[in-house]
Structure 1
Amino acid sequence: MGQAEGDHVLVAAYNRFGAYIGDFRFQPEENTVEPEEPLSAKRLTENMRRLKRGAKPVTNFKRNLFALSSWQSVYTSAFAFIIYMNAAWHGWAIPMFIFLAILRLSLNYLISRGWRIQWSIVPGVSEPVEPPKEDLTVSEKFQLVLDVAQKAQNLFGKMADVLEKIKNLFMWVHPEITQKLYIGLWVALICSCLIPYKLMGFMIGLYAGIKFFIINFLFRSCPKLRDKYDTPHIIWTSLPTDPQLKERGGATLSRRR
């Protein structure tokens, strides 16, 4: 019995080891092409609604941050500014953000369990309520499809503009703008090598708080000040898209002729 049990254990160990080694077998990756769905007005409308529902948490959080930095609620913004600057001064900025993330997940857990909790950073800022859906006529359905198609067109256009601006920034299409980024990266590299990370984190944390609560508020309230001194805004608005580059190239050729 002892010999049989030993052989059985060896066979089991050999099989497990063989299965473990089999996981490391290299196989050529298959390039599978997903089939594209045919164009459907109903499918397009439903996808846009899904995109809107999925983006609700992000847009709501962005709306709250905008209200917080714009001082729409003076008491809330002042309280948040004092708490953040105190945390940054003592080096607790990162633990504070982690605690806020844990708090948000805890509230989401309670909401998923049926609790009715409506929590926003700034009081009075909430998600827009959609009107109740009713039975639509044929013309209303057609107009709905046109509206969805227009929104999709504008959304894809904005996404293309952002991607083209980023590409042109890194490809030296506008050398004066990319040069500022290049110099800034070199300065950041030198500072990261010379300044201790604890001191650098302290400086970045204080600057981020002042930028979010004070500088952004001044730039939004004074557009002329923003156009002169807000370097990221100036760089972003000055970056050209590919259609703008084609228009400039065509205008240059027409002038030469």
Structure 2
Amino acid sequence: MDASSYEVYEEHLKHLEEQLVTVTIENQSLVSELNGYKDKESLDRLRAEIEIERNRYRKLEEKFKKHEKDCDIKHIQSFDSAQGWVDVSIKSSNSAEKSSPTPKSTKKRVGRIKKFDLMWRRIVNSVYNFMDDFTEEPEEQNENDDGEPLTVKQLKANINRFKSDLTPYIDTIKGIQQLLAWKTPSYTLLMFMIYLIAIWHGCFVSVILFCLVVRMMVSYLNHLGFQIKFNFFQPLEEKKPKEDSSSGLTDKFSLVIQVARKVQNGLGAAADGLEKIQSLLTWKTPVTRKLFIMLFICFVMSFTASMENYSYIMGIFLGIKMFIINYFYNRYPRLKRRYDSTYKTWQQLPTTVECEQKMVKSEINKFILSETESTSEESASDTSTKTKKIKDTDAEFCQLFSLPNSESPVSGWQGGKRCSLVNKEKSVLSGLKNGKLYLTRSFLCFERTKTPSKKNIVIPLADITEMSKAKPYAILPGSGMSIEIKLVGGKVFTFGAIVYRDEAYDSLIQAGIDQALPWATGVPLNQDTLPTSSLRRRSSAKSISNFTWASDYTDAD
């Protein structure tokens, strides 16, 4: 295939991928519309039932109002009769009421009683409402917890909204950065002098509040219709590249990729910063000791002098650091890397992943065997020819198993040997896990077919107590093409389907003889000669390592 035809084929493939993404997004929107059409009949039924319930509610409400009015009249009449304010003969008949009208004093008393009764009801209702606020409400189960379905149009509209709303805040941050970078020397010098005067006279907080009041007044004038363009930190205008107005399938695909990349990188940077702060506060780095000593000294000094003196000193130092020292650091990065203690401290703070990788490497270093004379001579003779190969071909292997570069596969094992991890307790098909077997100077590593995987296994050679040829299943032809390895603690691993089983077995025995290990030399095993770390359970971090120690491995893995 020519290069030109290959490029055309690759271009067609990209277009097909873009069309596939667009079709999947549109398919999801069509599915949501279809579900809406299916629910249309049930919605009509619900609407009819709701209308019936509304009519019932209106009738009940009218009956309740009539009953409430009758109760109010009876209550007022009974209250008047008890106090002697209204004559009992008024209640006897309607004719008597017409013939003998009530006096004005009685009407006033009835009005006062009605007002008192209404006030009392309001007080009681307010008390009951206040008590209802402390009752627990049942959790509402929303059917559409995921929100609206994914569509390219809505995604693009939300991105544009977020970008336009975020622009003022980004402009303010850029304006502060340009101010501290002395992009406009006269304005920066003026702000620096105002800052020093405010710190010297102790009115820095008042100046900040005054600036906020002025900014709110300008916003209010803009709200009234005045066109006032004012900002304390207005960034300089930059030339923006012309945007291509043409849009198509490539724009939709690139939009999704761009958003995913920004979210990935942004969340990764935020997680790194939070993990560094966590490592600083949890004593995972020596920098925490320095921070503790500095805070303790400041605490003691706070009792020896007034806080005003400290505020002056800290304010002046902070102003010089922001306006002058950081300017030189940002302009000359080499100067920053050498003398900026804050930058160096932040770079030295480890993340959670780095801390766990350090734990894994320290645990692995306990099982690295010392070089013998034969291995040192071979490595010295082949240094000039194998150094480049180790760096190029075996770097991925060392990174996969978190091994140092000195633990690269030995000769004959660089590409690994295809095999299967056999579980005799399961059936033949379900008990086989395909992968590759690697041998280094100190470890025997098994890599699963799907990588990176936590199902990879690392077996220290110092933990092996016995190794032999095996035949796990009687139905297999020949001698079985398997190797059985027993470890300290009784755990057994069987690696089968090895094409050149005898050569691999001899190579493993020779590696054990070179390191003078008991299982290879035939010397009886002595528990006292084993490393102390091999007799205990590994406490390495499994959350980030791409392997499992052989002592920790279970069939469930």
Is the TM value for this pair above 0.5? Answer: yes
Among 136, 157, 162, the residue aligned to 1:28: 136
Please report how far the alpha carbon of residue 90 of structure 1 lies from its aligned counterpart in structure 2 after TM superposition.
Answer: 1.2
Of 27-36 and 199-208, the range deviating more from structure 2: 27-36
Aligned equivalents of 2:156, 2:134: Cα separation in 1 = 43
**Residues 44 and 148 of structure 1 are in contact (CA less than 8 Å); yes or no, is this contact kept in structure 2?**
no
Aligned equivalents of 2:342, 2:171: Cα separation in 1 = 24
Of 231-240 and 104-113, the range deviating more from structure 2: 104-113
**Residues 84 and 209 of structure 1 are in contact (CA less than 8 Å); yes or no, is this contact kept in structure 2?**
yes
**Cα 1:99–1:27, aligned 2, differ >3 Å: closer, same or farther?**
same
- Aligned partner of 2:351 in structure 1 is 241
Correspondence 1:250 to 2:366: no
Please report how far the alpha carbon of residue 192 of structure 1 lies from its aligned counterpart in structure 2 after TM superposition.
Answer: 3.9
Aligned equivalents of 2:137, 2:295: Cα separation in 1 = 38
Please report how far the alpha carbon of residue 81 of structure 1 lies from its aligned counterpart in structure 2 after TM superposition.
Answer: 0.9
Aligned equivalents of 1:195, 1:18: Cα separation in 2 = 59
- Aligned partner of 1:147 in structure 2 is 258
Q: Which runs of 5+ in 2 are unaligned?
A: 1-106, 368-557
**Cα 1:246–1:216, aligned 2, differ >3 Å: closer, same or farther?**
same
Please report how far the alpha carbon of residue 117 of structure 1 lies from its aligned counterpart in structure 2 after TM superposition.
Answer: 3.8
Correspondence 1:157 to 2:268: yes
Among 219, 225, 241, the residue aligned to 1:108: 219
Correspondence 1:53 to 2:160: no
- Aligned partner of 1:179 in structure 2 is 289
Please give the residue correspondences for 1:34-73 in structure 2 after superposition, counting only pairs within 5 Å. Answer: 35-37=145-147, 40-73=151-184
Aligned equivalents of 2:346, 2:320: Cα separation in 1 = 21
**Cα 1:188–1:48, aligned 2, differ >3 Å: closer, same or farther?**
farther
What SS does the aligned partner of 1:184 have?
Answer: helix
Of 145-154 and 165-174, the range deviating more from structure 2: 165-174
Q: Which has the larger radius of gyration?
A: 2
Aligned equivalents of 1:109, 1:221: Cα separation in 2 = 39
- Aligned partner of 2:203 in structure 1 is 92
Give the count of matched residue pairs. Answer: 256
TM-score (norm 1): 0.82
TM-score (norm 2): 0.41
Aligned equivalents of 2:219, 2:280: Cα separation in 1 = 39
Give the share of equivalent positions with the same residue, in percent. 26
Off by >6 Å, runs of 4+ in structure 1: none
Among 2, 11, 24, the residue aligned to 2:117: 11
Of 230-239 and 154-163, the range deviating more from structure 2: 230-239
Aligned equivalents of 1:168, 1:29: Cα separation in 2 = 41
Correspondence 1:188 to 2:298: yes
Of 209-218 and 120-129, the range deviating more from structure 2: 120-129
**Cα 1:226–1:140, aligned 2, differ >3 Å: closer, same or farther?**
same
**Residues 45 and 145 of structure 1 are in contact (CA less than 8 Å); yes or no, is this contact kept in structure 2?**
no
Aligned equivalents of 2:236, 2:157: Cα separation in 1 = 27
Aligned equivalents of 1:71, 1:237: Cα separation in 2 = 26
Aligned equivalents of 1:164, 1:39: Cα separation in 2 = 32
Aligned equivalents of 2:226, 2:113: Cα separation in 1 = 58
Q: 1:232-252 CA deviation, whole Å, 9 max, x = no partner?
A: 322221111122223323333
**Cα 1:112–1:4, aligned 2, differ >3 Å: closer, same or farther?**
same
Q: Which runs of 5+ in 1 are unaligned?
A: none
**Cα 1:121–1:131, aligned 2, differ >3 Å: closer, same or farther?**
farther
Larger % of strand: which?
2
**Cα 1:7–1:163, aligned 2, differ >3 Å: closer, same or farther?**
farther
- Aligned partner of 2:322 in structure 1 is 212
Larger % of helix: which?
1
Aligned equivalents of 2:241, 2:130: Cα separation in 1 = 50
Q: 1:20-52 CA deviation, whole Å, 9 max, x = no partner?
A: 444254233766677123555555544444443
Q: Which has the higher contact order (CA 8 A, sep 6+)?
A: 1
Aligned equivalents of 2:194, 2:172: Cα separation in 1 = 19
Of 123-132 and 188-197, the range deviating more from structure 2: 123-132
Q: 1:168-227 CA deviation, whole Å, 9 max, x = no partner?
A: 2222222x1222222233233334444334333333332222222122223223434433
Aligned equivalents of 2:241, 2:227: Cα separation in 1 = 19
Of 160-169 and 214-223, the range deviating more from structure 2: 214-223
Please report how far the alpha carbon of residue 2 of structure 1 lies from its aligned counterpart in structure 2 after TM superposition.
Answer: 5.2
**Residues 174 and 235 of structure 2 are in contact (CA less than 8 Å); yes or no, is this contact kept in structure 1?**
no
Of 78-87 and 198-207, the range deviating more from structure 2: 198-207
**Residues 88 and 202 of structure 1 are in contact (CA less than 8 Å); yes or no, is this contact kept in structure 2?**
yes
Of 119-128 and 205-214, the range deviating more from structure 2: 119-128
Please report how far the alpha carbon of residue 122 of structure 1 lies from its aligned counterpart in structure 2 after TM superposition.
Answer: 5.8
Aligned equivalents of 1:91, 1:54: Cα separation in 2 = 36
What SS does the aligned partner of 1:55 have?
Answer: helix
Q: 1:139-173 CA deviation, whole Å, 9 max, x = no partner?
A: 22211221121111111111211222222222222
Correspondence 1:203 to 2:309: no
- Aligned partner of 1:74 in structure 2 is 185
Of 198-207 and 162-171, the range deviating more from structure 2: 198-207
Residue type of the partner of 2:215?
R
